[in-house]
Amino acid sequence: MTTTAAPRREYIDGATAIVRGAIDAGCTFFAGYPITPASGILMAMMRELPKVGGVAMQGEDEIASIGMCIGAVMGGAKALTATSGPGISLYSENIGLAVMGEVPLVIVDVQRLGPATGGATTVAQGDVQFVRWGTAGGYPMIVLAPSNTPESYELTVKAFELSERFRCPVILLTDKELAMTLSAVDVDAYPDVEPVARTIKDAGLPYSWVPADAVEPMRAYGAGDAFRFTGSTHDEGGYITKLPAKVGALNEHLVAKIEDHRDEIEMVDVDADGPADTVVVSYGVTAGAARAAVRELRAKGTAVTGVVVKSLWPIPETSLSAAFDGAARIVVPELNVGLYRREIERIAADRDVVGVNRIDGKLITVAEIVEAAR
């Protein structure tokens, strides 16, 4: 029944897809500092945002860049910033501010090989735990990870949606290869998106946490009457407080608004073909080789389930547990020392969890995953 309409393809990189996704989601502000391999996003935003009436800035450093974004959001903008390992390290304190002040903001981490300056043009997935725990306090973070160019677009939009839904920073975790590799993309593979809505109330308290998981519409400077924003422990009016009842309620709210709504965040691609002893769990760039390995294993007669995690944090525990049902062996390929595998081990309980890891700047090959899955 299939009619073969002429395929419609373009040849673009992931950075371009992220920039388009941000603009389609309604982004009006960007600030970033040059850093390989994230500079493509900075340069494209400097070029493209003014065309849609937005503002793009090159900050004096990464601290200033994310600081400007937070200020701009409170001034009514929707903001994106993008960096890599050394820069996300400098973002740390302001990620905390965005969590505490409940600032919707999308942060792209284009991973490169670390630690420190590491390999600027070298792929890695070493920030997967850092983006979860990279600011003081240990409060929940939402982290999405695309595994190809269309997903880079789709998950950028999704990141804006979730940041508005939960009034919090959302991290889009990508890497050098996903951001810079050019690939043919079916232009019909991109979902149709609407600009992400934000409700701004023009009066009333800037914060509320009754019930604990409820997210109050935000305020913006200049829209309605005066209001307060603070990174200090605060009451609903944004006044500094040390009253245990208030402090507890605020901090429980920061947890509950995300943890109680994990089902709205979970995004996992499960490629199952009947019962399988082996499950390959991957994310990001490594999902490319993992998907190919699953195909190859099946072709050789091995029953295998492929799982690609698109919402890394909070851990999509429900979907993962379901996918692990009946499996004896879980293979986790990743370009780091086995960072996400720790989470899989916890969820997989007594199953055999095997890592396939490279930290030499090379991509994991299909053959390496096939070997580990057998």
Partner 1 sequence: MSTITITPVATFRTDDPYPFCPGCGHGPVLDRVNEAMVKLDLDPAKVVIVSDIGCSGLSDQYFVTSAFHGLHGRSVTYATGIKLANPDLEVVVIMGDGGTGIGGTHLLSAARRNIGVTVIVMNNLNFGMTGGQHSTTTPEGGVTSTTPLGNLEHPLDICATVGVNGAAYVYRGSSFDHDLADRIAEGMRRPGFALLDIWDLCTAYYVRSNKFTRAGMEDSMRSWGLEPGLLYDRQTAEYATAYRRIHADIAGKPTPRPRPIDITHEAALDEPMALVVAGSAGGKIRSAAKIVALGGIRAGLWAAQRDDYPVTVKAGHSVTELWLAPHEMPMAAVVAPDVMAVISADGYAKAGPYLAAMGPDALVLTIPDFADLDTKAQVRVIDPKAAPKRIPKTSLGLVYLSAAIALTEPYPIDALREAAAAGSFAEINLEAVDTGALLAGA
Residues 184-243 that bind partner 1 (CB under 8 A): 184, 186-187, 220-222, 224-232, 238-240
Total of chain residues touching partner 1, rule CB under 8 A: 81
In the set 144, 285, 348, 373, which binds partner 1 (CB under 8 A)?
285
In the set 205, 255, 292, 354, which binds partner 1 (CB under 8 A)?
292
- 75: contact with partner 1 by CB under 8 A: yes
Beta strands in 250-349 (DSSP E): 268-271, 278-282, 304-309, 311-313, 329-334
How is 309-365 classified by DSSP, letter by letter?
Answer: ESEEES--HHHHHHHHTT-SEEEEEESSSSTTHHHHHHHHTTSEEEEEE--SSPPPP
- At 56, the amino acid letter reads A
Task: Please name which of 310, 297, 301 lies closest in space to residue 340, comparing C-alpha atoms.
Answer: 310
Give the binding range for partner 1 (CB under 8 A) out of 67-75, 125-133, 247-255, 259-267.
Answer: 67-75
In the set 97, 196, 281, 370, which binds partner 1 (CB under 8 A)?
97
Give the binding range for partner 1 (CB under 8 A) out of 7-15, 165-173, 193-201, 346-354.
Answer: 7-15
In the set 82, 106, 110, 178, which binds partner 1 (CB under 8 A)?
178
Q: Alpha-carbon distance 368 to 374, whole Å? A: 10
Q: Alpha-carbon distance 37 to 118, whole Å? A: 12
Q: Alpha-carbon distance 223 to 266, whole Å? A: 34
C-beta closer to partner 1: residue 198 or 315: 198
Give the binding range for partner 1 (CB under 8 A) out of 83-91, 180-188, 191-199, 332-340.
Answer: 180-188
Query: Residue 61 Cβ, how far from partner 1 at the closest point, in Å?
Result: 6
In the set 15, 45, 57, 193, which binds partner 1 (CB under 8 A)?
57
Q: Alpha-carbon distance 333 to 336, whole Å? A: 9
At residue 124, φ and ψ (nearest 5 deg) are: -165, 165
Both structure tokens of 213: 């998981």
Give the binding range for partner 1 (CB under 8 A) out of 134-142, 245-253, 256-264, 357-365.
Answer: 357-365
- 71: contact with partner 1 by CB under 8 A: yes
> Contacts with partner 1 in 137-176 (CB under 8 A)?
147-148
DSSP 361: S
